[in-house]
Structure formats: C-alpha cells, structure tokens
Amino acid sequence: MPIADEWHSALALTGTSNLEPSEVHQRLLALTEQAVAILSAEAFDVEQARQIGARVAQLGYVQPEALGATLDVLGQQLHQLATANESSGPRLLKLLSGIATGFSEQARATARTEAEAARQRLGFLAEVSTQVAASLDLRTTLERVARAAVPVLADWCTLNIADPTGALQTETTAHVNPVQEELAKTMRQTYPRRQESGRSPAVQVLESGATRIIANVDDRLLEQISVDADHLQMWKALAPRAVMIVPLVAHGRSLGTMSLIMTDDSGRSYAPADRALAEDVGRRAAMAVENAQLYTQTEQAVRARDEFLSVAAHELKTPVTSLRGFAQLTLRTLNQNGQIDVERLKRALKVVDQQSDKLTRLVAQLLDVSRVQSGKLALDRQDVDLSALLVDLVASIRTQSDKHELRAVIPPEMRAKVDPLRIEQVLTNLLDNAIKYSPDGGAVDVELSSSNDDPASVVISVRDRGIGIHAEDRERIFERFYQADVGSYHGAGMGLGLYISREIVDLHGGQIRAEFPEDGGSRFVVTLPRR
C-alpha cells in the first residue's frame, strides 16, 4: 500500500478533517514526496520537516493520536525505503522529530485560535442577549439584533416577522454599507414580500423551521425571486453571494426568519461553525420577539379591559337612570294630588319593566363572561324542536320593532339535542344585533335548514341589511369586549354578546361565523350538530 494511503487510513482512525477525503489524500501525497525529498537531500532541512508536521495539523487532525499515527506510518515506511542508505537512520529520526515539533506548534496555535474564536462567539452572544433584553418594543429589539449581526455574522441582515395572517413582512434591514442599506430598504419598500410570487427561500424556512444555507447565490435564483426586471436589477446591484436563513422559533412557534447575507464586496461565505452561532442568535432573537409581542398583547388587553369597564359602567348606568327617572316622576305625580293617572302609571311601569329586563340581561352577560373564563359555563342538553323555539323568538322580536320586516323561513319541525335556554340566548343576541345595527330598518331574514355539507347538522342564519362591519373589524368581533368603532355607534352594547355566543356554540360542538354580503349588511350563520 502506498505511503499516503496508509497514512490517510491511520489518520482517519483518529478523527475527521473538514476537507474532502480526496483533497486530504492529495495533500498527504505531496507531504510524503516532501518527506522523501528531505531524506535524500544533501543537507538536512529541519524547517521543511517542521512544515510537514504543521500541515498535518492544519488538515484538522490536531489530536495527539494523529501525531502518533503519523510518526508510526512515516517511521516504518520511510525506514524501509531508506535501508539502502547508511546514514539514513539518524536523518529519519531528525525528520520525525521535526515533524513532531511542527505538529505540536501548529496544534497549539490552532487551539489558541479556536479558543479565541469561541471567546469571541460567547462575547458576541452575550452582547446580543444584552441588546435584545434591553427593550420590550418589537421594532427596537429587531433593529438591535440586525445591527449586532453586522458585520460579525453577515454583511447584510434582514429580520422578517410573520403577521397575524402568517405572511412574512420585512421589519428591519442592516447593512455594513450605508448606501447599500438604503438600496436594500428601497427594494423592500418597492417590492414588499407579499407581492413576491411563489415561495421565497425565507417563506420555506418559516414553514419548515429549518435553517437553510445557500452557499452560492447565482443569477438563476435572483431571477426566480424577482418580480420584474427592475427588481432583478436591484438584487444584482446588492450582489448577494452567500445566504443563511435562520428560523426565529420560540416555544415551538415559527415567528419569523433572519436572513444573513454575505455580498460580493466582502467575498466572505458561510462555514459550518457559523450556522450554530446564527441559530443561537436566532433563538435569542425569537425569545425577544415573543416577549415583545406578548407585551404588546398585554397592553392591548389592559386597554380593552379599561375601555370595557367604562362601556360597561355606561351601559349599566343608562337603565338605572331611566328607572330612577320614571320612579321619581311617578312619585311626584302621586305627591301632588294623591291621585294617579292609571294610563301614565302603566306607561311608567312598562318602562320600568323594560329597563330592569335590560339590566338583568347586562348583569347576566357579565356573569356569563366570568363563567366562560373559569370554564364553568355548562349546558343542559335536551331534545328540542328548534323550529318552535325560533318561531316564538321571531314573534317576540317582531313586537319590538315596526321598522324592520322579519322574514322567517322555518320548517314545521327540526329537532336537535341542545340547551334550549343557551341557544335561545345566542339567537336572541343575533336577532337583537340585526335590529340594533340596522337603524334605518329593512328586511331581516331568518332561516333554519338542514346543513348541505353535513346532514347531521342544522344551520340557522340571520341576515340584516344594516350598517355592516368594516373589513378591519371583521376578524375581531367575536373577541371579548370587542366593539367595532367603540363609542361612535350609539346603541352598541358591551361587546360581549358575540363572544358569549361563540363559547355557547363551541360547547355544543358547532360553529358560528359572520359573512359579509356584497350588497351590504351582515349575515351570521350558526351550525349545530343535531346530537
């Protein structure tokens, strides 16, 4: 077996090199030739002998066993080659001792460099941690992470965060070169991510949660991710060369991505060690992003609660004021002449009845919310004829408004196993809203039918032609305390009805959703399983 082969096999038993095996083999072949040349040269060159040792260590085989293997193989093989030559014994010893010295020096130097690199990485991570922990504001946090990553990890770094719909938005861009940074930002403003067709590498990383390294960014990739010729031009001017995209994952959730980019200007690329470091930064950034998002949500929740308290106080006060007013008025009339006008008394008592009913319902809603939150909202399911329930309900709502035309399509009988009081509560809420949010009157359609998609379910829909719901509010109307246009629409309640309704329908194993017909108004659709 040729010397280089045997040497390679012996080294391979002691560890691995970062280089391809064929490359290692090539280099060992050259070193073997060098060793033979040293032995047969006229004057012994100790420096060259040391270099052989140093090169072995530079291949990545730095452990003492690698030196042992080297001395062993070279000692035996070169000894056999050189037995013909009398003076070769002492020379071979000198060669091996030179190799040992060179190897040890290089191994020590490598260890020092690695320790220094590790120290720098730790320092860098500590710096990132301090930076991201210093603020609870999402933008500030992201800006700091991006700035910290440049130039240690990248020439150009962008941080992208998934919005509530799951789409990636570029939030921050940092570049070693301020001019290029401007160009990168302009490119993102002109071509926002959402306009990009197909799935960009960043979107793939967000979905898979796995880091991706693109070692060689070529024109084909740039063409793929460009929207048009100008976009491609910008990409080319920015000259990305190598890219590493790290997911920002906190508690198992992908919150966004960090793109680390090396450009043609620096000519740097990514080594395997960079990946672990980048992922570490990604994890820290993700925790900070999660904290900032939670903080924002908490702030919103506190604001919503405060708004709710003032709305609830106002809502409760209105019927109380009205109750007091009529009670006082009646008392005054009584006091003046001791007589009472029966008609007036009837009217006053009717108002008292209505307002106490309203008060009772508001208090019941508040109690329901606390039941939902403590998980104590329970159902009393019975076999119920939903047709009869709905007919009665529509009749009672009809008496409350003469501006609205209630049109009902209800089959003679349709039974389901539900809690009748709770389902009545849901439907009353939907019908009340339909009336309340169509102040100019108009038709309200109520329909009960079998589900087309699932014969084991029934569908109840309530459609009005009222003020409708703005697109930006649609997502949130089922949230607790949520009211579209708080305060601006007189007659809105506490923003609890739909929240409680959804909880009740969920408990039944059904679904409630809102639809927004093209010709205005709203349609609420409840689907309930029959059993």
Rule CB under 6 A: which residues touch ligand ADP? 429, 433-434, 437, 464, 466-469, 477, 482-484, 492-499, 522
Nearer to ligand ADP, 119 or 314 (CB): 314
The sign of the CA dihedral 251, 254, 255, 260 is positive
Please, which residues have CB within 8 angstroms of residue 504's CB and are 6 or more apart in sequence?
Answer: 377, 379, 419, 422, 423, 425, 426
Q: Which is nearer to ligand ADP, 261 or 498 (CB)?
A: 498
Helices (H), 158-271: 178-190, 201-208, 219-225, 229-238
Burial of 387 (0-12, 13-18, 19+ CB in 10 A): middle
Smallest distance, ligand ADP to C-beta of residue 351, A = 21
Amino acid at 237: A
CB of 276 to ligand ADP, least distance (A): 49
> Minimum distance between the CB of residue 146 and ligand ADP, rounded to whole angstroms?
39
Q: Least Å distance between CB 414 and ligand ADP?
A: 23
What gap in Å lies between CA 174 and CA 185, rounded to an integer? 9
Min dist CB 204 to ligand ADP, Å, is 38
Q: How far is the CB of 472 from ligand ADP (least distance, A)?
A: 12
> Least distance in Å: CB of 444 to ligand ADP?
9
Closest to ligand ADP by CB, 240 or 466: 466
The first and second tokens of residue 236, run together, are 């080319």
Q: How many angstroms from the chain centroid is the CA of residue 395?
A: 48
Q: 151 preceded by cis ω (within 30°)?
A: yes
User: What is the nearest approach in angstroms of ligand ADP to the Cβ of residue 446?
Assistant: 12
Interstrand relation of 404-409 and 442-450 (parallel, antiparallel or unpaired): parallel
Residue pair 500/369 in contact (Cβ under 8 Å)? The answer is yes
> Under 8 Å CB-to-CB from 356, ≥6 apart: which residues?
319, 323
At 415, is the secondary structure helix, strand, or coil?
Answer: strand
Q: Which of 461, 522 has the CB closer to ligand ADP?
A: 522
Tokens 């060098």 belong to: 34
Closer to ligand ADP at the Cβ: 326 or 499? Answer: 499
Q: How far is the CB of 304 from ligand ADP (least distance, A)?
A: 12
Residue among 182 and 515 whose Cβ is closer to ligand ADP: 515
Task: Identify which of residues 256 and 493 has a Cβ nearer to ligand ADP in the complex.
Answer: 493
- Which residue, 96 or 498, has its beta carbon nearer to ligand ADP? 498
Q: What is the dihedral of CA 318, 324, 330, 335, to 10 degrees?
A: -150
Interior angle at CA 522, CA 520 and CA 526, nearest 5: 155
Closest to ligand ADP by CB, 247 vs 497, is 497
As measured in angstroms, the least distance from the Cβ of 489 to ligand ADP is 7
Type of residue numbered 305: R
Cis peptide before 272, with omega less than 30 degrees from 0? no
Place of tokens 């709770």: 422
Helix (H, G, I), strand (E, B), or coil: what is residue 382? strand
Among residues 118 and 313, whose Cβ is nearest to ligand ADP? 313
Which residue, 133, 216, 205, 143, is CA-closest to 174? Answer: 143
Q: At what angle do helices 88-133 and 272-337 cross, to 10 degrees?
A: 10
